[in-house]
């Protein structure tokens, strides 16, 4: 099975590396060819445009920046939906909107193709090590067909339902993280302000009912002043905006999500958009 | 070493059971003798009043309900501080205010005794199994002296600093939990409202960056409609009020904590005070 891949950012690079290492032939296309050079050296084939990429592929994976970019890649003239053939599979792994996932699935099916939405969590390390969590929406049959491809990139692959369900699941993930990040940062600043050793506080609280991935992995970075991006604030804000729009559309009031989003918006205003999400700590300083 | 123990609620019962099983002689006193009967059968000695208890003990542990109860037990006429002898150790394991812990330590030291604040996490199961996390404030020497007693009740025992530091650490624990509970509940209600299977969503998100003790342990109870108390909402509200008071006193603005506290206050108004903290789910319904 030949795979076409669009998007060679930090996530895409790791995922393509995994696909190549597991014997897949991977064609790639990206707006800036220089970004793809290390992958071409590693064995990926370069395509000059989307038509060329589609010609050489049975399945095309996209992982780009924002819903706007997804829309462009799929719907622009000479984009994916202009070049898709009957029986092909299109998989968008960008974190994007559920409604756009539904639109793509509908448009693909009109061409006799199948689209899946399959956003991931696990970050650049998960991508590089093939240990992503992949949340999949679309037809169950299409999922069964491309599952081996997911298994080349991830370890926790769950079919979540019809088109859009993968994106909705990713929103659940971001919603759970959003409020927890406030709790983690507030626990750290309280510890510091009350004169405790925050490292010792983590020893007491990390393994019990307050324990979380963020407390174990990001609180130590807050304490150490390490705000380098694991996950960019600018991308997190994008995700939280999507979650709020979707919640509003469903008539759901989610005050924790709203508060977290407003604080992360404020961090963008303060110039922290290229920091990791743990830089929320600076909101409290 | 003879231990006196005041407070035979669900936590105290488990802790006394552990002390007895490890060979300590334990004298107990509580306002309602009937509550202590199972412990007397298990080998604890009953004392009719605090004076009697203090007479028979080298170290006295208290774990009662609210800071008001702590104040009464220690400062009322014929209370602990009227009966404490030189060289004794008083350990309050209630989650209470840091300032009250400091007051008790000062009053104890005026009598030549030592007081420690040592609140716990790990719930009734942790108490029953001797697997509590114990966060200790007070003099380091006093901590070293009574450490074997803590080791009979817990597995994660950390000295956090001077009097009040144990309570401050517990506040960090509750602050981290407070916002996370909103994230967990909001992820669950979003999953349900968007038509996903919340169980499948948990399979996708529990083990990654959204993962937490609450997501793994309390989200399934929310989904299953099980609101039985692991940790009572009425006690959580007490803790969050203390945390807010302390944060205000230090000039710290903690919006996640404030939001969570206001939502839990609302749940009390709605009649959920005797449910577990996972009943925050009902706020969204």
DSSP string of A155-218?
EEEEEEESTTHHHHHHHHHHHHHHHHHHHHHHHHHHHHHTT--HHHHHHHHTTSTT-BHHHHHT
Beta-carbon pairs below 8 A across chains A and B? 262
Distance, in Å, from the CA atom of A189 to the CA atom of A42, rounded to the nearest integer, reads: 45
Distance CA A230, CA B167 (A): 33
What burial class does residue A20 get, using C-beta atoms within 10 Å of its C-beta: 0-12 exposed, 13-18 middle, 19+ buried? middle
Read off the pLDDT of residues A132-151 as tens digits, 9 standing for 90 and up.
999 999 999 999 999 999 99
- Model confidence over B107-150: pLDDT tens digits? 999 999 999 999 999 988 899 999 999 999 999 999 999 999 99
Tell me the two tokens of residue B172: 């960090």
Q: What is the dihedral of CA B265, B267, B270, B273, to 10 degrees?
A: -90
What are the distances in angstroms from CA A185 to CA A143, A243, A282, B48, B173? 38, 21, 9, 47, 12
Gap between the Cα atoms of A26 and A58, Å rounded = 10
A201–B172 C-beta distance less than 8 A: yes
CB-count exposure of residue A219 (10 Å: 0-12, 13-18, 19+): buried
Question: Residue B258 above 80 pLDDT?
Answer: yes
> Is-catalytic flag, B170?
yes
* DSSP line for A232-271: BHHHHHHHHHHHHHHHHHTT---HHHHHHHHHHHHHHHTT
Q: Is the pLDDT of residue B1 over 80?
A: no
- Which domains, from first to last, does chain B contain? 2-163 (3.40.50.720), 168-284 (1.10.1040.10)
Q: Which residues of chain A have a CB within 8 Å of the CB of B168?
A: 190-191, 194-196
Determine, for residues B121 and A215 on separate chains, whether the beta-carbon distance falls below 8 Å: no
Distance CA A204, CA A145 (A): 47
Tokens representing A88? 């092909």
* Residue found under tokens 């296309």: A29
What percentage of chain B has pLDDT greater than the value 90? Answer: 94
Confidence of residue B179 (pLDDT cuts 50, 70, 90): very high
> Which chain A residues touch B206 with a CB distance below 8 Å?
none
pLDDT for position B156: 97
Q: In chain A, which residues have their Cβ closer than 8 Å to the Cβ of B254?
A: 186, 189-190, 284
- Give every residue of chain A whose pLDDT is below 50, as ranges: none
- What is the predicted pLDDT for the residue at A30? 87
Q: What is the mean pLDDT of chain B?
A: 96
A81 touches chain B (CB under 8 A): no
Q: Residue B14 has what pLDDT?
A: 96
CA atoms within 13 A on the CB side of B116: 29
Enclosing H/E stretch for B61: strand B59-62
Number of H helices, E strands in chain B: 14, 9
Q: Which residue has the higher pLDDT, A1 or B67?
A: B67
* pLDDT of amino acid A1: 75
Band of pLDDT at residue B10, cut at 50, 70 and 90 = confident
DSSP conformation letters of A103-145: HHHHHHHHTT-EEEE--EESHHHHHHHT-EEEEEES-HHHHHH
ipTM topping 0.90:
yes
Query: Is residue A121 within 8 Å of B208, Cβ to Cβ?
Result: yes
Tell me: the pLDDT tens digits for B216-225? 999 999 999 9
What mean pLDDT comes out for the span B161-174?
Answer: 98
Nearest to B186 among A156, A175, A209 (CB): A175
Q: Is B123 left (phi over 0), alpha (psi -120 to 50) or beta?
A: left
For position A78, what pLDDT does the model report? 95
Measured CA to CA, the distance from residue B21 to residue B18 in angstroms comes to: 5
Burial category of A161 from C-beta neighbours within 10 Å (exposed 0-12, middle 13-18, buried 19 and up) = buried
CB atoms within 10 A of CB B201: 31
CB contacts, 8 Å: A260 with chain B: 256
Q: Which of B123, B157, B163, B172 is the best mutation test for A, with the most CBs of A within 10 A? A: B172
CA angle A9-A15-A21, nearest 5°?
130
């Amino acid at each position: 099975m030949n795979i076409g891949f669009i998007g060679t950012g930090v996530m895409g690079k790791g995922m393509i590396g995994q696909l190549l290492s597991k014997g897949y032939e991977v064609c790639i296309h990206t707006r800036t060819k220089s970004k793809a050079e290390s992958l071409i050296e590693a064995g990926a084939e370069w395509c000059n445009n989307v038509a060329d990429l589609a010609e050489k592929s049975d399945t095309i994976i996209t992982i780009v920046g924002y819903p706007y970019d997804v829309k462009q890649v799929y719907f622009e003239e000479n984009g994916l939906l202009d070049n898709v053939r009957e029986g092909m599979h299109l998989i968008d792994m960008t974190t994007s909107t559920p409604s756009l996932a539904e639109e793509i699935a509908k448009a693909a099916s009109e061409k006799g193709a199948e689209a899946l939405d399959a956003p991931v969590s696990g970050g650049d390390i998960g991508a590089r090590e093939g240990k992503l969590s992949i949340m999949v929406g679309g037809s169950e049959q299409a999922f069964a067909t491309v599952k081996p491809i997911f298994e080349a990139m991830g370890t926790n692959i769950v079919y979540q339902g019809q088109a859009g369900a993968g994106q909705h699941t990713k929103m659940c993930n971001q919603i759970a993280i959003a409020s927890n990040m406030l709790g983690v940062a507030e626990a750290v600043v309280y510890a510091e302000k009350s004169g405790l050793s925050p490292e010792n506080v983590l020893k007491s609280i990390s393994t019990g009912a307050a324990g979380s991935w963020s407390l174990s992995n990001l609180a130590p970075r807050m304490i150490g002043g390490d705000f380098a991006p694991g996950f960019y604030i600018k991308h997190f804000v994008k995700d939280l905006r999507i979650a709020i729009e979707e919640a509003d559309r469903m008539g759901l009031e989610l005050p924790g999500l709203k508060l977290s989003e407003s604080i992360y918006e404020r961090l963008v205003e303060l110039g922290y958009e290229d920091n990791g999400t743990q830089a929320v700590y600076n909101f409290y300083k």
